[in-house]
Structure 1
Amino acid sequence: MSAHLLYNSPMVQVIIMSIACFLCPGMFNALNAIGGAGQVDRTVANYANTGIYCMFIVSGVFGGAVVNLTGIRWSMFVSGLTYSLYSASYIYLNHTGKGAFTIATGPILGIGAGVLWSAQGMVIMSYPSQDKKGRYISVFWAIFNMGGVVGGIVPFISNFDQGNSHTAVPLSSAAYIVFVALEATGALFALFLAPPKNVIRGDGSYAVLGDHTGVYHEVVETLKVFQNRWMLLLIPMCIVSNFSYSYQWGAYNGSIFTLRTRGLNSMLYWTSQVLAAYVASLIHDCQHLSRRGRGIISLLVVTVLANIMWGTTLVLQRTYTHGPVKDLTTDYPGGLIDFGDPVRAAGPIMLYCFMGAVDALWQSLAYWLIGATTNDSQALARYAGFYKGMQSLGAVIAWQLDAHSVSFMTQLIVNWVIMCVAVPPMGFVAYMLKEQPYNVDPVHNDNWLYKPQTSVSYI
Structure 2
Amino acid sequence: MAINYYSALTQIVLVGFVCFLCPGMFNAVNGLGGAGQLDTKATNNANTALYSTFIVFGVAGGGIVNLFGVRWTIFVSGFTYALYSASYIFLNHHPRDPSFTIATGALLGAGAGVLWAAQGLIMTSYPRENERGRFIAIFWTIFNLGGVVGGILPFAINFHSTKDQLSDGVYIAFVVLECIGACLGLALAPPAKVKRLDGSPVVVAQGTSVRSEAIGILKLFLNPTMLALLPMCFTSNFFYSYQFNHINAALFNIRTRGFNNIFYWGSQMAGSLAISFVLDTPRLKRRMRGMVALAITFVCFNAIWGGSLALHNKYPEGIKAGSRMDFTDSKNAAGPIVLYIVCGLSDALFQSLAYWVIASLTNDNQDLARYVGFYKGIQSLGATVAWQLDIKASALRQLISNWVLFGCAVVPMAMVIWRIKEHLETDDSQVSDDVGTAGELPEKDTLKDQYIQA
For the criterion TM > 0.5, the same-fold answer is: yes
TM band (smaller chain): over 0.9
Residue in 2 that maps onto 1:175: 170
Secondary structure (helix, strand or coil) at the match of 2:314 reads coil
Secondary structure at the aligned position of 1:378 is classed as helix
CA distance in 2, matches of 1:90, 1:109: 14
TM-score by length of structure 2 reads: 0.94
Q: 1:372 to 1:336 in 2, by over 3 A?
A: same
Structure 1: runs of 5 or more not aligned: none
1:139 to 2:138 alignment:
yes
How far the C-alpha of 1:287 sits from its partner, in A, is: 1.0
Task: Show the counterpart of 1:317.
Answer: 312
Give the counterpart of 2:260 among 250, 260, 265: 265
2: CA distance between counterparts of 1:304 and 1:341?
29
SS in 2 for 1:219: helix
Conservation of the 8 A alpha-carbon contact between 1:375 and 1:457: no
What one-letter code is carried by the residue in structure 2 that aligns with 1:238? C
| Aligned residue number for residue 336 of structure 1 | 324
Partner of 1:14: 12
Q: Distance in 1 between matches of 2:336 and 2:315?
A: 13
Match for 2:189 among 171, 188, 194?
194
Aligned Cα root-mean-square deviation (Å): 1.8
Partner in structure 2 of residue 455 of structure 1 = 451
Matches of 2:17 and 2:419, distance apart in 1:
34
Contact 2:363 2:427 in 1 (8 A): no
SS in 2 for 1:322: coil
Does the Cα contact within 8 Å between 1:59 and 1:114 map onto a contact in 2? yes
**CA separation in 2, counterparts of 1:350 and 1:277?**
18
Aligned amino acid, residue 329 of structure 2 = D
Determine if the alignment matches structure 1 residue 101 to structure 2 residue 89.
no
Q: Distance in 2 between matches of 1:52 and 1:441?
A: 37
Structure 2: tracts of 5 or more residues without a match = 437-441
Contact 1:130 1:442 in 2 (8 A): no
Quote how far apart the aligned CAs of 1:323 are: 4.0
Deviation at 1:204, TM superposition (A): 2.7
Cα distance, 1:208 vs structure 2? 2.5
The residue number in structure 1 matching 2:340 is: 352
Among 265, 277, 281, the alignment partner of 1:282 is 277
Is structure 2 residue 359 aligned with structure 1 residue 371?
yes
Q: Name the residue aligned to 1:387.
A: 375
Q: How many residues align?
A: 443
Percent identical pairs in the alignment equals 50
Q: Using the alignment, how far apart are the partners of 1:437 and 1:183 within structure 2? A: 38
SS at structure 2 position matched to 1:452: helix
Q: Counterpart in 2 of 1:30?
A: 28
Return the alpha-carbon distance in structure 2 between the equivalents of residues 2 and 368 of structure 1: 29
1:82 and 1:109 in contact (8 A); partners too: yes
| 1:185-216 Cα deviation digits (max 9, x unpaired) | 00000000011111111333211342431111
Quick one: distance in 2 between partners of 1:170 and 1:456? 55
Once the two structures are superposed, what CA deviation does each residue of 1:334-375 show, in whole Å capped at 9, x if it has no partner? Answer: x41111111111111111000000000000000000000011
In structure 1, the residue matched to 2:211 is: 216
Which TM-score applies when normalising by structure 1?
0.93
Q: Secondary structure at the match of 2:119?
A: helix
Structure 2 residue aligned with 1:246, among 231, 241, 253? 241
The alpha-carbon deviation at position 445 of structure 1 amounts to: 6.0
Report the Cα offset of residue 446 of structure 1. Answer: 6.0
Find the aligned partners of 1:115 and 1:442 in 2 and give their Cα distance: 24
Residue 208 of structure 2 aligns to a residue whose secondary structure is: coil
Q: Structure 2 counterpart of 1:50, which letter?
A: T
Distance 2:206 2:83 in 1: 31
- CA shift, 1:441, in A, is 5.1
Letter of the 2:9 partner, please give it: M
Cα distance in 2 for residues equivalent to 1:278 and 1:44: 35
> 2:360 & 2:25 partners in 1: Cα distance?
29
